[in-house]
Structure 1
Amino acid sequence: MTDTATLTGPTGPRPKKALSPRNIMLYGTLIVVSLYYLLPLYVMIVTSLKGMPEIRLGNIFSPPVEVTFQPWVKAWAEACTGINCDGLSRGFWNSVRILIPSVLVSVSIASITGYVLSMWRFKGSEIFFAILLLGAFIPYQVLLYPVVIVLRELGLYGSLTGLVVVHTIFGMPINVLLFRNYFVTLPEELFKAARVDGAGFWRIFVFIILPMSLPIFVVSMIIQVTGIWNDFLFGVVYTRPENYPMTVQLNNIVNSVQGVQEYNVNMAATLLTGLVPLTVYFFSGKLFVRGIAAGAVKG
């Protein structure tokens, strides 16, 4: 008896060609876009590893003939950022002292506020949420001077504590929006069942909501870490030179008009300043995508 499979032949969709016009267009576009973003990074890295005599030859794309890490050492510990010539090290630790409490406090408060607005709605909660949403779109420049007055009256102007308060407050609207929209997508039956079993506000939040919310916490923390670490405007307005964050000191190094312009030191200083957000994205990028896909921008 003849086998049916022999008569009908192979089943299933026909294999696609690896070099089809669609694939060539797709991967070609991805390669061009990748090169567009990676080329400046490549130039920065190779320039930071060259000495000034080699940089003066003018070929910015050539790899270093003789690799030197002296520009990195100078950028970290010796470059002048004003009256101080201790490099970016001072600004790095200032940024760390600003970043950690700002992220922890803002994410904690925003998660609880989003939890309340999504599952424990009170009279006027929609109006409150609308005000928070409006706050996410107010330009920071409009509020610069009023915040200066408030910090001065509180005795916090020029201090790291004052800058922590500023970052915490300005990070609240967008983070509350993220948490509220994520919590709305969680199964409401779990919340109702927990209340029937006698669970209260904090027990539901700690034992039910938090274990299901790791992706959105990662999204919120990445947004806060990136925004706070890369901030220049608040750092230069609300702090004094001894408390300047890393980005302000980087600006002072790159835009210095005294002496010879050391491009290798400038590139090394720029890379050092960007290492923290790059590291955060590298280790938590997958969770960031999961958080967005799971409802971080759904309303």
Structure 2
Amino acid sequence: FFMAAFYLMPLWVMITTSVKHLDEIYAGSFIGLPQQISFDAWRTAWSEACNGTACKGLKPYFINSLLLTIPAVIMSTGIGAINGYVITKWRFPGSNVIFGLLLFGCFLPFQAVILPMAQTLGILGLAGSLPGLVLVHTVYGIAFTMLFFRNYFVSIPDELVRAAKIDGAGFIRIFVSIMLPAALPIIVVSCIWQF
């Protein structure tokens, strides 16, 4: 309990001081509860805080972050889910080699791919743009999400997929109707990891 309290103390101080008036903070009350709750500091940070010479607040940067993370998380999780499904349930000649190459992407240091990635973004005309950042985060996350889904889908019996094939279900139907509903826990883990 004491270690948790010690660890969480900076978070407590940050939250309590953010809802206090400046006079109360200047009086030296950092740890105690506020005498009167005020969200003025939050409003100022959201709409008026200065970043360098621009005083636009945090709102445009927060929206920018959402525009980056939401598509990147959805795309890399979706591609990783399909890759994990194909690698485990639709084996083909060379699937182990492809899995190994994709797995290699998990251990590739980001510094090793910065220059080729920057050149690729320049060729595609996406350098310095939000779609370029989304592409980078999506591509870099595919190896991890594929590994998560592959390890999860291995635990689903192959007989289930065979039975669905006998009943006439195809690749997409099996993926959407059987694999994805069974994979809800790993979808959450993958989204949290990518986020």
Compute the TM-score of the two structures, normalised by the length of structure 2: 0.92
Q: Of the candidates 182, 185, 189, which is equivalent to residue 152 of structure 2?
A: 182
Q: Of the candidates 115, 128, 137, which is equivalent to residue 85 of structure 2?
A: 115
Q: Deviations over 1:130-152 (max 9, x none)?
A: 12212112222332233222212
Q: What's the C-alpha RMSD, in Å, of the aligned pairs?
A: 1.7
Q: Deviations over 1:4-39 (max 9, x none)?
A: xxxxxxxxxxxxxxxxxxxxxxxxxxx234313322
Quote the Cα distance in structure 2 between the aligned partners of 1:99 and 1:46. Answer: 29
Q: Is 1:173 paired with 2:143?
A: yes
Question: What's the counterpart of residue 145 of structure 1?
Answer: 115
Quote the Cα distance in structure 2 between the aligned partners of 1:105 and 1:206. Answer: 16
Opposite residue 197 of structure 1, the aligned amino acid is D
Opposite residue 103 of structure 2, the aligned amino acid is L
Compute the TM-score of the two structures, normalised by the length of structure 1: 0.61
Q: Is 1:90 paired with 2:76?
A: no
1:178 to partner: Cα distance? 0.4
Q: Of the candidates 179, 187, 190, which is equivalent to residue 209 of structure 1?
A: 179
Question: What's the counterpart of residue 103 of structure 1?
Answer: 73
Q: Is 1:135 paired with 2:105?
A: yes
Question: What's the counterpart of residue 73 of structure 1?
Answer: 43
Structure 1 unmatched runs, 5+: 1-30, 226-299
Question: What's the counterpart of residue 190 of structure 2?
Answer: 220
Quote the Cα distance in structure 2 between the aligned partners of 1:213 and 1:179. Answer: 8
Structure 2 unmatched runs, 5+: none
1:50 to partner: Cα distance? 2.5
Q: Is 1:51 paired with 2:21?
A: yes
- Pairs within 5 Å for 1:274-289: none
Q: Is 1:62 paired with 2:32?
A: yes
Quote the Cα distance in structure 1 between the aligned partners of 2:171 and 2:20. Answer: 59
Quote the Cα distance in structure 2 between the aligned partners of 1:117 and 1:70. Answer: 53
Q: Runs in 1 of length 4+ with deviation above 6 angstroms?
A: none
- Pairs within 5 Å for 1:244-255: none
Quote the Cα distance in structure 2 between the aligned partners of 1:57 and 1:153. Answer: 57
Greater shift, 52-61 or 173-182, is seen at 52-61
Structure number with larger C-alpha Rg: 1
Cα gap change, 1:205 to 1:73, in 2 (>3 Å): same
Percent of paired sites with the same residue: 49
| Greater relative CO, 1 or 2 (CA 8 Å, sep 6+) | 1
Q: Is 1:40 paired with 2:10?
A: yes
Give SS of 1:82's match: coil
1:51 to partner: Cα distance? 3.3
